Structure formats: structure tokens, C-alpha cells
Amino acid sequence: MLPTPTKFTLVAGKAEGPTRLNAFDNALLNAGVGNLNLVRVSSILPPAATYVERVDIPYGSLVPMAYGSIVSSETGKRICAGIGVGISPKGYGIIMEYSGEGTARSAEEAVKQMVEEAFRVRGLHLKEIKVKAEEHVVQETGAVFAGAALWY
């Protein structure tokens, strides 16, 4: 078993690239996590994890992350991704991610609603929601990314 993360950071980025993978990679760089090895996880914020504004860990680190992303080659299409974290008074929380067509605002609203629903079905009181989102109008091949990095 891996150690339980003690910190979390919300990140979001957008970019263009010559290929779909390059666009995604460039969006990761724009979000500040492009030089890390992301390990995709499901959506539970560890108990007592504290919010930190920026990820500050060595390049190449394995970083658990819940995230949403989308890549498109449809010129003129507006794409978005959002991440939301709900925190309970019990110290742990729920992470929800979204990606699709739309604005950063629509992504924020979507993740807020998903966080509220996740708390409702668990019978938890929602103390606080943190949200971050990004949008991008595709020029050739564009990507957006939003994630919750869980680290130590």
C-alpha cells in the first residue's frame, strides 16, 4: 500500500499541439504538472489533506491525480475541463472531474453539482467546495486538462 497523501492542489491548463498527444502534454505543462508521472485515481480526498496552491515536487515523481481532459481537432470548438473537491467536517472529501464541450463556467457548475450529489448519497455534510476549470477554443488540435494532484 502507498502512503496516504497529505496535500492536494487543483490544477488546470490548456494548449495546442501538432498531434493529440502533444496537445495533451502541452496542456499538462500549462497546468504545471507536465514533468510528473500522473497515476490516475478515483475520487476520494484523503482525510486531513491540506490545500497547497502549487505542486512543488521533483520532476518524474509518481503523483496520484483525479482528472478530466479532452482533446479535439475540430477547429472553432470550445472545450473545457473542470475539477471540484468537496470537503466534509470529517476531514476527508470527494473529488469530481468533468470534460466536454463548453465554457470554464459550465465545467465549474458541472463539478459543483457532482460534488453536491456525491455528498448527498453518502449522507455527508458539505463544508467547502474548491473548483478549478479551463476552456479553450480549438485552432488545430487543442486540449484542456483539470486535475487534483494528491501528494506528500
Confidence check: pLDDT of 1 > 80: no
**pTM of this structure:** 0.96
Domain limits, the chain: 7-151
- What pLDDT digit, counting tens, does each position of 63-104 carry? 999 999 999 999 999 999 999 999 999 889 999 999 999 999
The one catalytic residue in 43, 69, 72, 99 is 43
Angstrom distance (rounded) from CA 58 to CA 65: 16
Q: Which CATH class is domain 7-151?
A: alpha beta
pLDDT band at 116 (very low <50, low <70, confident <90, very high): very high
Position 25 pLDDT exceeds 90: yes
DSSP 12-49: EEEEE-SSHHHHHHHHHHHHT-TTSEEEE--SEEPTTP
Q: Is 97 a catalytic residue?
A: yes
Active site residue 35: no
Select which of 69, 72, 97, 134 is catalytic: 97
CA 21 distance to own-chain centroid: 18
